[in-house]
Amino acid sequence: MDFTFTETQGMLRDTLRRFLADRYDFDSRQAMLRSEKGHDPAIWASLATELGILGAALPEAQGGFGGGPVDTMVLMEEFGRAIAVEPYVPSVVIAAQALLAAGADADTLVPAIIAGDAVVAAGFYEAQGRYNPADVRTTARADGSGWTLNGHKPVVIAGPRATHYLVSARTSGDQRDRDGISLFLVAADSPGIVRRDYPTVDGFMASELYFEQARAGPQALVGQEGRALPLVEQLIDHATVALCAEATGAMRRLHELTLDYARQRKQFGRAIADFQVIQHRLVDMFMEVEQAASMTLMATLRLDDPERARWVSQAKAKVNRGARALGQAAVQIHGGIGITTELAAGHYFKRLSIIETQYGDTDWHMARVEAAL
């Protein structure tokens, strides 16, 4: 098999890398995170209008480039290298794909997502369900004029900047039934939505969403009522692989930073990179990067496979373990400065630590692999 990227994918990677190097250097990122909004809206607008990045993996019929999951993987690696806090995964990977799969508002909202005018945050998990998207207490009840939602969605990434929320809610059945779950696309300013915003440890912004007799129109239902769980699981798998690609980019950059530091830091009159034990540790870090990249590519190519769940979980479990091992090694080689806010290494370590728990930790994915086998 030929695993080389196409010329278009190479151009996407190089264009985004140059843009992020110019707009997302460490000092600029820190200043942005300390700002009132916690992000720079101009960057998202530039990704949409100047670079056209948001439509790279979306169909041409909606204004995209007609790419696919591999294009998403290429872009996410670059976002990982810059530890960018942009809502690409919830808005493009999840929401746009959900609308295209369900045929709901695809011709209106997907072009708005590509243009950067609409940002969608996704809420599929609930506190009591951990990583089980079928464990849903949030309810939606139909009435003559639409839907009424009640419930709570925790840690909704990009919630503060979203124009819409894509959330799961139970329209029938018991709390953990696979049937009876529906998807709803709700405008962020809908009556009855209460939001508590906060920054996460890795620099993103998130929200606690509370639906208190929240009103949504009849068009808010995405896809078939009560039959949304397979689509939700598919979207989560696509997002999981995108995070694996982001982790690969962050791991690669953290390895580069650690190698540079080891060549500069001197002990006993010699650069610590000259010591064999440090060299072995740096090689181990490099191997973790390459294995993460290989597993991520394999999972990306298998997203349409009937055994998708197994491939995705194998990749996420490996990336989780590799990210932890590499991050810990980087901090140990840097020493105490490796976890300070003044050095980039600590911020990469934080992001990798959060990715390890997003969309399933190592134990959850290993259990999923075992069940699939």
In a domain, 2, yes or no: no
**Is 1 domain-assigned?**
no
Residue 150 belongs to some domain of the structure: yes
Q: What is the pLDDT of residues 278-312, one digit of tens each?
A: 999 999 999 999 999 999 999 999 999 999 999 99
Q: What is the pLDDT of residue 328?
A: 96
Within a domain: residue 307?
yes
Indicate which CATH number applies to the domain containing 311. Answer: 1.20.140.10
pLDDT recorded at residue 339: 87
Task: Give the model's pLDDT for residue 336.
Answer: 85
Q: What is the pLDDT of residues 207-238, one digit of tens each?
A: 999 999 999 999 999 999 999 999 999 999 99
Percent of the chain with pLDDT over 90: 90
d(CA 238, CA 42): 27
Question: What does the pLDDT read at residue 338?
Answer: 86
Are the CB atoms for 278 and 350 separated by under 8 Å?
no
351-363 as b/e: b if 16+ CB within 10 A? bbebbbebbbebe
List the alpha helices (DSSP H) in 68-161: 69-81, 88, 97-102, 109-114
For 129, the 3-state DSSP assignment is: helix
Residues 153, 196 contacting (CB under 8 angstroms): no
**Distance from C-alpha of 66 to C-alpha of 72, rounded to nearest angstrom:** 11
Q: Which helix (H) or strand (E) holds 123?
A: strand 120-123
| Listed residue (351, 357, 320) closest to 82, CA to CA | 351
Of 168, 197, 227, the last residue of a domain is 227
Residue 191: count of CB within 10 angstroms of its CB: 10
Rounded average pLDDT over 10-23 = 94
**Which of 188, 206, 227 represents a domain boundary (last residue)?**
227
Asked if residue 366 is part of any domain, the answer here is yes
The vertex-20 CA angle with 264 and 318, nearest 5°, equals 70
Last residue of a domain, one of 227, 250, 277: 227
Identify the pLDDT of residue 221: 93
From the centroid of its chain, how far is CA 277? 35
Question: Average pLDDT, stretch 84-95?
Answer: 97
- The per-residue pLDDT for range 226-278, each reduced to its tens digit, is 999 999 999 999 999 999 999 999 999 999 999 999 999 999 999 999 999 99
One domain, residues 264 and 181: no
What torsion, rounded to 10 degrees, do the Cα atoms 179, 238, 169, 172 define?
Answer: -10
Confidence (pLDDT) at 102:
83
SS3 content of the chain, % helix, strand, coil (to 5): 55, 15, 30
Q: Alpha-carbon distance 330 to 338, whole Å? A: 7
Tell me what pLDDT residue 5 has: 87
* Separation CA 91–CA 72 (nearest Å): 13
pLDDT tens per residue, range 150-161? 999 999 999 999
Flag whether 18 is in a domain: yes
Q: Are residues 257 and 354 in the same domain?
A: yes
The CA-to-CA distance between both ends of the chain, in Å, stands at: 25
142's tokens: 């139909």
Digit-coded pLDDT (tens) for 298-351: 999 999 999 999 999 999 999 999 999 999 999 999 998 888 888 999 999 999
Sign of CA dihedral 122, 126, 132, 133: negative
Mean pLDDT (the chain) is 94
Pair (42, 103) in one structural domain: yes
Cβ(247)–Cβ(323) below 8 Å: yes
* CATH code of 39's domain: 1.10.540.10
- Using only C-alpha atoms, the chain has a radius of gyration, in whole angstroms, of 21
Residue 360 domain-assigned (yes or no): yes
Residues 107, 130 within the same domain: no
| 210, part of any domain | yes
Residue 284 pLDDT: 97
Confidence check: pLDDT of 103 > 90: no
How confident is the model at residue 144, as a pLDDT?
80
Is there a contact between 352 and 344 (Cβ–Cβ < 8 Å)?
no
Kindly state whether residues 263 and 221 are assigned to the same domain. Answer: no
158 and 261 housed in the same domain: no
Q: Do residues 258 and 328 both lie within one domain?
A: yes
pLDDT of 107 over the 70 cut: no
Domain of residue 135, residue span: 121-227
Beta carbons within 8 Å of 306's beta carbon, 6+ residues apart: none
Q: Which of 62-71, 252-261, 353-362 has the lowest mean pLDDT?
A: 62-71
Say whether both 187 and 84 belong to one domain. Answer: no
Instruction: Please name the residues in contact with 168: beta carbons below 8 A apart, sequence gap of 6 or more.
Output: 123, 124, 133, 136, 138, 181, 182, 183, 184, 228, 229, 232
CB count in 10 Å sphere of residue 90:
23
The yes-or-no verdict on residue 106 having pLDDT over 70 is: no
The model carries a pTM of 0.95
* Domain shared by 112 and 130, yes or no: no
H helices present in the chain, as ranges? 7-23, 26-34, 41-49, 69-81, 88, 97-102, 109-114, 229-264, 276-301, 308-334, 344-355, 362-372
CA-to-CA distance for 77 and 82, rounded, in angstroms?
Answer: 9
As a whole number of angstroms, the distance between CA 26 and CA 7 comes to 29
Q: Are residues 162 and 52 in the same domain?
A: no
| Residue carrying the six token digits 């969605």 | 153
Per-residue model confidence as pLDDT tens digits over 110-146: 999 999 999 999 999 999 999 999 999 999 999 888 9
Q: Tell me, what's the pLDDT at 324?
A: 97
Confidence at 104, pLDDT banded by 50, 70, 90: low
Question: Residue 195 belongs to a domain with what CATH number?
Answer: 2.40.110.10
Q: Give yes or no: residues 193 and 248 share one domain.
A: no
* pLDDT score, position 1: 58
Same domain, 175 and 236: no
User: Looking at the 3D structure of the chain, how many domains does it have?
Assistant: 3
